Structures are given as structure tokens and as C-alpha cells.
Amino acid sequence: MQAHMAYKPMIQNIYKSSVELIGRTPLVQLKRVANGLGANVFVKLEYLNPSGSIKDRIALKIIKDAEKQGKLKPGISTIVEASTGNTGIALSYVGTMLGYKVRIFVPEGVSTERVRIMQRYGASVEVIGADEERRLKERSISGGVVEIPGRLKCAEIEKKERDIFWARQFSNPSNTLAQIETGQEILDVLGEASGFTASIGTGGTLLGIGSALSRANKDMKIVAVEPASAKLPLLKEYQKLGKIVRTEVSGGIISDIIEAGIVDEILQVTDDEAIAMAHRLVREEGLFCGISSGANVLAALKLAEKLGRGNIVTVLPDSMDRYLSEEHYTT
């Protein structure tokens, strides 16, 4: 009779903090929604980061770089930022975990879930720059436009108060650098990509990942995705100006994208289109991702159909749990 063998559990990594879980998210090939396309379509599950979005990466990078530069002191400094939600949540989470007070300024139209998540992490949240008439007319939200009143508030606080660090996600180089690391994670798995799609918010995701992937394949196509119902589709408006615009509260990474000239196409996606694709991803692929993920995947499918070959990649920036009361395509 075989002797009983004691069960020995397999122990992998034991982490000292949930912050160590940021990044290294899985890459999944879409099957059902991409059925019949000649190209492979892959999605990076960024909603599996600890606070539920890709912005955990930039929050950690911005804070760590600021500490190295002597701009942040744990237990003393307060981090301030304007956000439509995900960066605010990420800074609330990472900032609190690393010993900072966090104040976030959000525009009206940001879902109740997002505000409550920030507050649960311990951040102070203030709605600013409200324009109810505009919100009702424009279902989707372009972060680069509606965040400007909040940015003005951050600039004012930074000048008046002591021990304030304004994260400046819209212009901070650490934003783009964090996403270059995301792009390298994709390359580590796929080797190269034929195309990449991403929504434009601050632009860090598109510029960072796009730059990294382009180094491996200079012929790779990059599609920028923007809300169709937004009054000012940001990248298109900047391109129309025919010049690079940088101010204390605008420009930044968006201007960097135009200077780099890496975008091959701008695709505008409606709220209804983004919502419908997000719902399909949940039902058909089992991916509990948010509405911007639906927009990104829709763009990826269109690019895959156009190219008919290679690997098309996009990211699923956040989870569906922050869209349960209101569904909007928010960048």
C-alpha cells in the first residue's frame, strides 16, 4: 500500500505590499469578438492592477520619481491632481499607501462609483468646473478638456500652500515613462506588434506604449481613439491649430504626441458603440472591463480588419465596476 504523502502547498511570491502588484498584467487573445479577422487581436488586462486601472502604473512612477527629486516627503506632502476618475483613484490608492495626503478635483459627470472609490482610499474629493448643460449634451467625457478647471485649481493651490505636489499627469514625463514599461511587457510576450490602439486622455498611454512598440516595428500602425460626442476631440483640435501649444494647464503629452508624429489615424467612437463593445467583452470574452476598453477594442478590430495580418494590441484600462450607475465613454 502506497504511503500517504503529505501535501506541500506551492508557495510563489509573498508580497510586502499590494503596491508591488502593480504592472505585469496578463495579455489575452480575443477569440469571439475577433472571429474571422486575419490579424490576431490581443488585450492587456490593465483593470487587474490593484486599484482597478492602468493609472496605477503612472501614479507609482510619478510618486517615486518625485521622491527621488526631493519634491515629495512622506507624512508631510499633499498630492493634488485633476482627474476624471482613474488617475484620481490610482493616486488616492498609491499615495495613501506610501504615506501621503491626497486631494483630487473632478469635473461634474464623473460617476458616483469613482468618487466613492477615491474617498474609500482616503482622498479628499471636490467637484469643480461643473457645467450641467454641457454634460447633458455630451454623454462622453474628454478628460483633456473637462479637467482644465481642476488643473487651474491645482496650480492655484501649489502657489499658495506649502508642501503641495501637483502630479500634473497631463504633462509629467513620468506618465509616459511608466507606459513605456507597459509597452515593453507587451514586447516581452509578442516580440512585435503590427498595430496599437488607445484612447486619448492625457496621452501617456498612447505615447508610451506606442513608442515602445514602434521601436520593435517601425511600420507599426497607431490609432488614437477619441469620444465622438465630445465638443473638442483633443488630438484633432490640436492638429487643426497647426502648432504646438503648451500652457500651465494644457498641452503637455498631447503636444509631445503631435511632435513625435506617431499617430497614423484618429478614430472617433460614440458612447453607444463603446458601451456595446464593452458589454460584448463581458458576455463573450468574460472580461469585466470598462467603457473605454470597449472603444479601444472597437478600434483594434477595425485596424485588424484593415491590416488583415499580424498582431494588433490594445489595453483594457479599467473595470466595469466604476460604470454601474452611469455608462459613459470617459477618457
Q: Which of 194, 229, 255, 292 is catalytic?
A: 292
3-state helix, strand, coil in the chain (%, to 5): 45, 15, 40
Contact between 290 and 326 under an 8 Å Cβ cutoff? The reply is no
- DSSP label of 93: H
Dihedral of the CA atoms 95, 98, 101, 102 (nearest 10)?
A: 0
Q: Which triple of cell numbers denotes residue 297? A: 477594442
292 is catalytic: yes
List the one residue out of 304, 303, 207 whose CA is nearest residue 257. 207
Is position 221 annotated as part of the catalytic site? no
Q: What is the CA radius of gyration of the chain?
A: 20
On whether the CB atoms of residues 250 and 170 are closer than 8 A, the answer is yes
* Catalytic hit among 44, 51, 53, 55: 55
Query: Cα 193 to chain center, whole Å?
Result: 20
Sheet with 221-227, strands from edge to edge, namely: 27-29, 40-44, 311-315, 195-199, 221-227, 265-269
Sort strands 195-199 and 164-166 into parallel, antiparallel or unpaired.
unpaired
Gap between the Cα atoms of 131 and 128, Å rounded:
9
Q: How far is CA 42 from CA 33, 79, 252, 306, in A?
A: 11, 35, 29, 16
List residues with catalytic annotation: 55, 292
